[in-house]
Each structure stands twice: as structure tokens, then as C-alpha cells.
Copies of this chain bind each other. A is one copy, B any other.
Amino acid sequence: MQPGTFEVLVLGSNGALPAYERFPSSQLLHVNERLYLIDCGEGTQFQLRKYGVRISRIRQIFITHLHGDHVYGLPGLITTFQLMRRSEKLEIFGPPGIQSFCEQVLGWTTSQLQFELRCHELRELNGVQFFDDEAVRVSALPLEHKVPCVGYLFREKKERRKLDAVRLRAEGIPEICWRSLERGEDVQLPDGRRLAHAEYTISPPPGRSFAYCADTIYTRALLPYLHKVDLLYHETTFLHELEATAKEYGHSTTVQAAELAREADVRALLTGHYSARYEDPETLAMECRSVFAPVITGKEGLKIIVPWPREAGAPYATV
């Protein structure tokens, strides 16, 4: 089977205060045929359109917290779904308060919503899985910010176990049984032998993973969840000289994000949520690279393609 798509598109890389024509926080994860929107700062719908995303295909939106630069694009996006006569259900996940936020926004729309909008407030942030579909499993991570804040870990779903054709042939198992084994069933042969599904199938390699960690101070509580993820987005709001400021405002520095990435042994770190004081994101990314090499500088429109199969040390393609 061909590996599917696993890509992250950066829609907004800026912190709270507008600067340098950057947009506030939003990213789109594309796994196989599924699109997942993560955070939705003001203008996200314009960015989605600019980069050619078919927004009707977004079925889930994951909100980290209720600060404006992560959520003020929701009212416009919901209105646009309504104007486009969306009919598919839309699910929004977020911290406590997201339900009330959406209810107020719906109170502003002048017509009855034509699609189902379901909000889910997440309270368990200890890595427990709260969502899955054909493509991914998603779990919630404990971030530490000025307000309740949820990180997200997306894991590509493993394909179902594949037949161990070599063994099946070697043992002369008739092909008529193969399909049942592949489906997950155990099989009883006419000669009395019992074939266990688990023994005649092979575990596929683990799926790719993406963790989204913003906004947050540097916290080692994240480490257990981030071990060896393929792509870690961790905010890099400030250069490390502003470590005290970062902590005061509930943010992280470049060096802190890079240290976490190194400790968690992730394959690549994506930067973002830049303070308005920095014109060039490369300044921040370069400081990360003094600690941890595989750093991708987040910028509006950047698409990061997480490859399959993994190749040790190979940089990810970006578009």
C-alpha cells in the first residue's frame, strides 16, 4: 500500500500583536484525505482560501485556548460555512469555555445553522486519546499558559496488520484462509490446526505523528508525550535573552523549545508564534539551531511534508 499524505501547512505564525503582515496562529494538518484545522486566529479563512484549501473538507477544528489570536477567526469561518451551505457536521475541540464561545457566536448569525456544530470541552490533558477517525488518533497534552490551554498530539493510524505471506507460503496454508486472517479472524484448518490472526500477520510500522504545543511556558511535563514525534510545533515567541519575559507572559523562548525538542528526541521542530518585536523569523529559528539541528522556520504558506518511510537524518521537504 502507498503511504498517504502527512503534511502541515502553516497559516499563521505570529503572536498576539499584529506585525509584518504575519497572521495569528493557525495550522492545517492534512493526513490522507482528512484535513484538521488547529487554532483559528483572525483571518484564518482568508489564509485557507489563499493557499487553495477546500474548507468544506475540514470536519474537526482543534482550539488550544481562548485568546483572541487563536480563536477570533472562528466566527468568520463558521459564517462562511453557513454561506456556503455546508451540511456536514463540524466538530470543535477546545478547553472549557469553547462551548459558550461558540454559542455566543452562533447567536450573532442571523439564520439557523444548516449544519450540526458540536463543541467538545477537553478536561483530561494527560495524553488520553479523545478523538479518532480513519486517519488519526488525537490526544490532549498539558500546556501551561495564562489561561487553560490544550496541546494536541496527532498520530497517524496504523494500517491493520498485514499478512505474513512468507510464513503462510512456507507452511503451505491454503490461500482460501488468507482473507479471514487478514480481516482479523482466527482460522480452523480441516486438519485441525488453529491459525491465530496475530501469528500470521505483521504489525505495520508506527504511523507518523505531529504535536502542536502553543501557547505554553517551557514545561518538562510534555516530555513523555513528545518522545520521538515526527514533527513538533512548539511556540518560540521570544529570543532566549527574554527568558524572564517569556515566563511572565506564559510563553517560551527559542532555546527552551529547542531543548524540549532535543530531550524528547523529536525528528524536527517547527517554530512560530513570533513576538511582534521580531521582523525576521530566521533570527529565532537560528537560535533554536544552536541547541537542536533539525529546525523548520514556520512562515505563512509553508507546507511541511513528513516523509514515509522515515529516513534517518533526512530533512523534511517544505513547499
Q: Which residues of A contact B (CB under 8 A)?
A: 16-19, 21, 23-24, 42-43, 45-46, 49-50, 66-69, 72-73, 75-76, 79-80, 83-84, 101, 104, 107-110, 146-147
Contact = CB atoms under 8 A, between A and B. Distances in A.
A101 B108 contact: yes
Contact of A76 (B68, B104, B107, B108): B68
Nearest to A84: B17
A19 B46 CA distance: 8
Given A42-B42, A42-B43, A45-B42, A68 B79 contact: yes
Given A43-B46, A72-B72, A110-B146, 20 more contacts: A16-B79, A17-B80, A17-B84, A18-B45, A18-B49, A21-B46, A42-B42, A42-B43, A42-B46, A42-B72, A42-B73, A42-B75, A42-B76, A43-B43, A72-B76, A72-B79, A101-B108, A104-B104, A104-B107, A110-B147
Contacts of A43: 42-43, 46
Contacts of A147: 110
Contacts of A45: 18, 42
Nearest to A15: B83
Contact of A108 (B19, B68, B80, B109): B68
24 contacts: A16-B79, A16-B83, A17-B83, A17-B84, A18-B45, A18-B46, A18-B49, A21-B46, A21-B49, A23-B46, A42-B42, A42-B75, A42-B76, A67-B110, A68-B75, A68-B76, A68-B79, A68-B108, A68-B109, A72-B76, A72-B79, A101-B108, A110-B146, A110-B147
Nearest to A73: B42
Nearest to A104: B104
Contacts of A67: 110
A139 B32 CA distance: 55
Contacts of A24: 76
A47 B217 CA distance: 31
A55 B73 CA distance: 21
A78 to B, nearest CB: 9
A109 to B, nearest CB: 8
A147 B128 CA distance: 45
Nearest to A101: B108
A105 B80 CA distance: 20
Contacts of A66: 108
A72 B104 CA distance: 13
Nearest to A65: B110
A270 B28 CA distance: 37
